[in-house]
Amino acid sequence: MTKKTLLHLSRRERQIMDVVYLLRRVTVAEVLERLPDPPSYSAVRAMLRVLENKGHLRHALEGKSYVYVPIVPRIRASRSALQNMLKTFFDGSPEKAVAALLDISRTEITDAELDRLSRLIDQARQEGR
95 & 66 share domain: no
What is the CB neighbour count within 10 angstroms for residue 88?
Answer: 10
Secondary structure element (H or E) that encloses residue 104, with its range: helix 94-104
Which residues have a Cβ under 8 Å from the Cβ of 28 and sit 6 or more positions away?
Answer: 41, 44, 45, 48, 65, 66
Distance from C-alpha of 17 to C-alpha of 37, rounded to nearest angstrom: 16
Residue 51 has pLDDT above 70, yes or no: yes
Please give the residue range of the domain that contains residue 122. 91-129
66 & 8 share domain: yes
Q: What angle do CA 85, 6, 100 make, to 5 degrees?
A: 10
Task: Report pLDDT digits (tens) over 54-101.
Answer: 999 999 999 999 999 999 888 887 787 788 788 889 999 988 988 888
Number of domains in the chain: 2
> Is 51 among the domain residues?
yes
> Is 77 among the domain residues?
no
46 & 99 share domain: no
11 & 57 share domain: yes
